[in-house]
Structure 1
Amino acid sequence: MRKLMVAAFVSLDGVMQAPGGPEEDTTGGFIHGGWTVPFADAVFGEAMAALFAQPFELLLGRRTYDIFAAHWPRVSENSGDADLATLFNGVTKHVATHRPDSLDWPHSRALGGDVIGALRALKAQDGPDMLTQGSGALVRQLLATDLVDTLQLMTFPVLLGAGRRLFGDDAQAAAFSLDTTIVSPTGIVVSRYVRAGKVQTGSFALD
């Protein structure tokens, strides 16, 4: 069976909207696009390289798909991102969309009307693990339907106040264990959590 990993950039208050640039996603009047850029450092770059080092297929919401499809096929061979562009252009992309006929980035596949059902079927198959990038609305669906096996959170030392958040109120209760964590020189905390069964409770009350 495949695993499904959610990898996300988040602020201290859980915002994940528009981490890469001012015009990436201004929905709701969001004015802080590009909030991750000042913190990028070598340790962060190494963590990202390690994330993409194992075989994977991308799992994307439609908004993130459109952003990626407009960018990665156009990256120059001389760019510092050329290797990542080659990787993203070549892997299978599973896309949650109501417009399957408009998926023109090579190796893109629409998940169909029943996104969650399609993902359950994909997880039951053999093949590379599935990895999300961005795709906040889709990720919240995954968390609400207990489909996430691993969370890799890259938490940046900034409060944004407003913006689309990673976790919704409908996220299904689940326990995770901390697998690895590193802290970059600029203060990015990169932590990987793996599913660890159901939430356990207890009490500190005195007898």
Structure 2
Amino acid sequence: MRKIRLTAFVSMDGVMQAPGGPDEDRDGGFEHGGWTVSYWDEPMGRFMDRTFDTPFDLLLGRRTYDIFAAHWPRVPDSDPIAKSFNTVTKYVATHRPDSLGWRNSEALTPDPAAALRDLKAGNGPDLLVQGSTVLLQTLLAGDLVDEISLLTFPLVLGKGKRLFQGGAMPGAFRLTHSQVSTSGVLLASYERSGVIVTGSFALDENG
């Protein structure tokens, strides 16, 4: 069985839209594209490198796929991330399977949710999700995410596409790694640990 591992850049209010550039995603009139760039430092780079230390395939929504496909094939294979991204299998949730031009790309059709469950149940490397806001909602609603790595930036964006937009399956996670970058970004990794355990701080009326 394969693990699905999610990595996301989020603001303090949970927005993850267009972290890498002004024109990455202007849906809804979003005006703050590129909000992560000024915070990047060496600890963040090392944290991201850990994400790629073990074998993986990519699991992507269509918009993120198009952004990656326009960028990574142009980066020399001397860059280790480019070499990995260009080589691994890319599984893509899309209604336009015939337009996947990046090598080693496969469409999750006709039913992405069913295809995801079959993919996860099979053999192979972990499935690494980058960006892909719409696809994430399907994964979270289906309780398909095994590990989450969050880079939480010290800013509030006010509006935009959020990591948790509603509809996620309730569940507990365990913190496996945490640190703070020199620019104040919280770097944390979590793994799925079971059901939510509830309790009460109410005083015992008989005590």
With normalisation by structure 2, the TM-score equals 0.96
Q: Provide Cα deviations, 1:4-27, integer angstroms capped at 9, x if missing partner.
A: 011100000000000000111111
Matches within 5 A, 1:48-87: 48-76=48-76, 82-87=79-84
- Which residue pairs with 1:20 in the alignment? 20
Q: Provide Cα deviations, 1:131-184, integer angstroms capped at 9, x if missing partner.
A: 100000100111011101111111111110011000021111011111111111
How far 1:83 moved relative to its partner? 2.1
2:167 to 170, 174, 191: 170
- Which residue pairs with 1:96 in the alignment? 93
RMSD: 1.0
Q: Provide Cα deviations, 1:68-118, integer angstroms capped at 9, x if missing partner.
A: 00111112467xxx2211111001100000000000100000011211111
Determine if contact 2:76/2:83 at 8 Å carries over to the other structure.
no
- Which residue pairs with 1:125 in the alignment? 122
Equivalent position SS for 2:162: coil
- 1:29 maps to a residue whose letter is G
Equivalent position SS for 2:8: strand
- The count of residues paired between Structure 1 and Structure 2 equals 204
Equivalent position SS for 1:196: strand
Matches within 5 A, 1:189-200: 189-200=186-197
With normalisation by structure 1, the TM-score equals 0.96
Identity level (%): 59
Give the whole-Å Cα distance in 2 for the aligned partners of 1:95 and 1:77. Answer: 22
- 2:189 maps to a residue whose letter is R
Equivalent position SS for 1:151: strand
- Which residue pairs with 1:154 in the alignment? 151
| Deviating 4+ runs (over 4 angstroms) | none
Give the whole-Å Cα distance in 1 for the aligned partners of 2:60 and 2:119. Answer: 14
- 2:22 maps to a residue whose letter is P
Give the whole-Å Cα distance in 2 for the aligned partners of 1:178 and 1:83. Answer: 28
Give the whole-Å Cα distance in 2 for the aligned partners of 1:195 and 1:87. Answer: 26
Give the whole-Å Cα distance in 2 for the aligned partners of 1:178 and 1:35. Answer: 26
1:180 to 177, 185, 193: 177
